[in-house]
Every structure is written in C-alpha cells, then in structure tokens.
Amino acid sequence: MKNALLLVDIQNDFCPGGALPVPEGDRIVPAINRLMHTQLFQKVAATKDWHPPGHISFASRYGKEVYTTTDTPYGPQILWPDHCIQGTWGAEFHPALESGLIRQVVYKGIDPEIDSYSTFFDNARLQQTGLHAYLQDAGVTELYLAGLATDYCVLFSSLDALELGYRVTVIEDCCRGVDVRPGDCQMALAKIVAAGGRVTSSQEFFNSRKEERQ
Ligand code: VGL
Ligand code: ZN
C-alpha cells in the first residue's frame, strides 16, 4: 500500500499577513517540514489555490461585503477577499515550507466562473484537478492531509478522497481553519470521521511509525 502526504494550500495569502489569513496558518509549517523529512511518505503532493483576477469567489467582483454569499449556477458561494491570484506573492507557498521536497503541485480554482475547495474536483463537479490521476498513476491508496483551511479545502478534499476510495487521515496539528462560524473546524473533523476518515496528530504519527520499526 503506497501512501502520500497531501499539503493543501499552504500559501502566503492563507497565513498571517496574507489576504485571507487563517489564524496561526503559518504555525503548521515546522511540523509539516518534519513530516516531509521522515521519508515515510512515498509521495508528497501539494495544492495551490490559483485564481485569475475577478474570480467568482471574490467579494470585490460584486462590490459586496466579504463573507456574505452569492448565488451561482452551482449553488451558493461564500465571497472571500481577493486571494491567491495567479503569479502573485500571495499565491506562493509560505517561504518556510521546504517546497523542494514536494514532488507534484496541483492547481485549483483556475476557472474564473467556478470555485474549487476540493483538491480533486471543482465545486460544480465538472472538472478534475488532475490530483486523482496523479495519485492513481503513482499507485497511492492512502492519503495523509495537512494544510489550510481545515473547514474548507481540507474538509472537501478529505470527503472527496474518501468517496474516491482512499484511506484518509487528517493530521490535526498540521491544519488550521477559518472558523467563519465558531466550531466549523471541529465540525469539519467530525464530518471527516463520520465519512470514514481518521484524525491523528503528527506526534501520534511519528510514535506509531517508531513502534512499527521496533
Ligand atoms: C480556501 C477559501 C477560499 C481554502 C480557498 O484553501 O481552504 N478557502 N479559497
Ligand atoms: Zn480560493
């Protein structure tokens, strides 16, 4: 059974100082670097939220307040500050992330008219991002997820991964969420568990691997 570490949207705009900062978003980076260095993962893949200017998810496009919603052909869309615009500093990986250890980068949210919280499918479920094909080619059946934000991209990626048949484990201390409504992050983890996923900590992961080798 091959596994992969999937790093979700660890980009400047989702960290303090960015356009859509997730509280403590940068705090996950040291533990994630440690995970990558264990070489316990056959593959390390990472996603980037990668929007064109004027994206459908941007409040500025409508002159509306951020965190309100608008209706789209694929359902209600939360409106965010402009973030992760292709080619900008905000869309780059956090500088402390050892991105040289990442084998595959997958881009999502590229379509100007469709958002993509999941790293597998867009929110309208019209297009795949290419991640599933990459993982299938590599023979990966087990995924460990870390990144931002727990209650959006980590949540929807985990649910899609479970539906696609992967074994899914979220490394809780290596994720942070937005909590637009307080409790959203805890709810997200509960939904992942209810759908058949597991939640662990990086410490538990290191300990379990140590025991296996003894
Ligand atoms: C995300 C909101 C908007 C995420 C992306 O990566 O969780 N959240 N775009
Ligand atoms: Zn986005």
At 127, which CATH number? 3.40.50.850
Average pLDDT over residues 119-135: 96
| Residue 58, in any domain of the structure | no
| Residue 213 predicted with pLDDT over 70 | no
Give the model confidence (pLDDT) of 33-65 as tens digits.
999 999 899 999 999 999 999 999 999 999 999
| Residue 212 predicted with pLDDT over 80 | no
Whole-model pTM: value is 0.96
Question: Catalytic pick from 15, 84, 153, 185?
Answer: 153
- Report pLDDT for 208: 85
In percent, the amount of the chain with pLDDT more than 70 equals 99
Do residues 29 and 69 lie in contact, with contact meaning Cβ atoms separated by under 8 Å?
no
| Residue 111, in any domain of the structure | yes
| Residue 207, in any domain of the structure | yes
Give the model confidence (pLDDT) of 82-104 as tens digits.
999 999 999 999 999 999 999 99
| Residue 73, in any domain of the structure | no
Helices (H), the chain: 29-37, 131-137, 155-163, 184-194, 202-213
| Residue 55, in any domain of the structure | no
SS3 (DSSP) at 175: strand
Pocket test for ligand 1, best of 15, 22, 49, 111 (most atoms within 8 A of CB): 49
Phi, psi of 191 (to 5 degrees): -65, -40
User: How far is residue 79's CA from residue 3's CA, in Å, rounded to a whole number?
Assistant: 34
> What average pLDDT does the chain have?
96
